[in-house]
């Protein structure tokens, strides 16, 4: 008899839990106020609705406007942007704009560029643009361009970085030296002017300006259902230590 009561009790608890879960999903109840609102933490949602498909329509939009020889851009790209992109790439919609504070001058239908750090920067920006175009994989392009930033973003850097990723650098260099590179840089110039920034790196997360100081945390904060790399971050000892 005691055993039977015990089993009934367990069944009752299970039934209550199941009903409670049902009510969480029942919007009409929540809206007409007949039920106490159930507040779920991010972690609750994570365990209740854990489905990879959810991320298809919940990608966080990340835009980076930069120029290849600016020191702040190099630091951010190397230490924050590239590591985060490599961890979270499948949950992000990423756009790179390698143009920065350059100027585009048109005469007789030809385009010429003036860059903050001189002609080597214009050429480097073209290499970055051509890498994005050639690789057709933004995760790889971010990795390649972050490597380029470490070595002055010139032809030698392209060779070295391509080698380290088992890629061929010649199509990228050929593009940068020809009309394709000019057209791409012109395009990134037009897009950069639309963004109307006055400093680089200019970082947007879902359209909001970001300082770039805590990029991983700030990107993770945008998800309603944090993907695994963010959950790892929230449960890492460093994270709790920093946020005490
Ligand atoms: C892009 O490259 C990454 C590795 O750098 C790879 O994991 C991913 O599958 C690639 N994406 C596509 C669509 O090929
Ligand atoms: C661009 O930004 C400047 C200030 O940085 C502002 O004065 C100007 O109105 C902005 N232009 C547009 C089109 O948003």
Name the closest-CA residue to atom 12, ligand 1.
Answer: 137
Q: Which domains does the chain have, with CATH numbers?
A: 2-58 (no CATH), 60-220 (3.40.30.10)
Which has more pLDDT, 49 or 67?
67
List the one residue out of 116, 131, 140 whose CA is nearest residue 200. 116
β-pair type (92-98, 60-66): parallel
Q: How far apart (Å, rounded) are the C-alpha atoms in residues 228 and 239? A: 15
Residue to mutate (ligand 1; options 90, 140, 164, 166; most atoms within 8 A of CB): 140
Name the closest-CA residue to atom 2, ligand 2.
Answer: 196
Q: How far apart (Å, rounded) are the C-alpha atoms in residues 69 and 50? A: 42
pLDDT, tens digit, 9 for 90 and up, residues 210-224:
999 999 999 999 998
Q: How far apart (Å, rounded) are the C-alpha atoms in residues 96 and 194? A: 14
pLDDT, tens digit, 9 for 90 and up, residues 101-116:
999 999 999 999 999 9
Cβ(93)–Cβ(125) below 8 Å = no
pLDDT, tens digit, 9 for 90 and up, residues 5-45:
554 544 444 444 443 443 333 333 333 333 344 455 655 54
**Assign residue 124 a region: left if phi > 0, alpha if psi is -120 to 50, beta otherwise?**
alpha
β-pair type (110-114, 103-107): antiparallel
Say if residue 69's pLDDT is above 60: yes
Query: Is pTM beyond 0.85 here?
Result: no
What is the mean predicted confidence (pLDDT) over 175-179?
A: 98
The confidence score (pLDDT) of residue 22 equals 37
The confidence score (pLDDT) of residue 6 equals 53
Say how many Å lie between the CA of residue 196 and the centre of ligand 2. 6
Instruction: Name residues contacting ligand 2 (CB within 6 A).
Output: 196, 198
Say how many Å lie between the CA of residue 45 and the centre of ligand 1. 28
Say if residue 201 is preceded by a cis peptide, omega within 30 of 0.
Answer: yes
């Amino acid at each position: 008899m005691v055993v039977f009561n015990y089993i009934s009790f367990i069944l009752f608890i299970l039934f209550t839990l199941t009903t409670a879960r049902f009510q969480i999903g029942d919007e009409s109840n929540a809206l007409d106020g007949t039920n106490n609102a159930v507040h779920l933490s991010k972690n609750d949602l994570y365990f209740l609705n854990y489905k990879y498909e959810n991320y298809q329509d919940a990608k966080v939009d990340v835009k980076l406007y930069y120029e290849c020889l600016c020191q702040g851009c190099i630091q951010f790209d190397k230490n924050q942007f590239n590591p985060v992109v490599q961890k979270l790439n499948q949950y992000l919609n990423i756009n790179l704009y390698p143009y920065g504070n350059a100027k585009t001058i048109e005469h007789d239908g030809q385009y010429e560029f003036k860059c903050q750090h001189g002609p080597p920067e214009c050429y480097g920006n073209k290499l970055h643009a051509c890498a994005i175009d050639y690789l057709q994989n933004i995760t790889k392009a971010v990795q390649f361009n972050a490597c380029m930033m470490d070595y002055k973003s010139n032809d030698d850097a392209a060779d070295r970085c391509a080698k380290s990723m088992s890629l061929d650098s010649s199509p990228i260099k050929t593009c940068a030296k020809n009309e394709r590179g000019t057209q791409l840089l012109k395009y990134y110039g037009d897009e950069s002017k639309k963004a109307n920034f006055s400093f680089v790196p200019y970082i947007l997360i879902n359209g909001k300006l970001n300082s770039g100081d805590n990029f991983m945390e700030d990107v993770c904060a945008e998800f309603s259902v944090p993907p695994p790399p963010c959950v790892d971050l929230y449960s890492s000892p460093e994270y709790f230590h920093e946020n005490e």
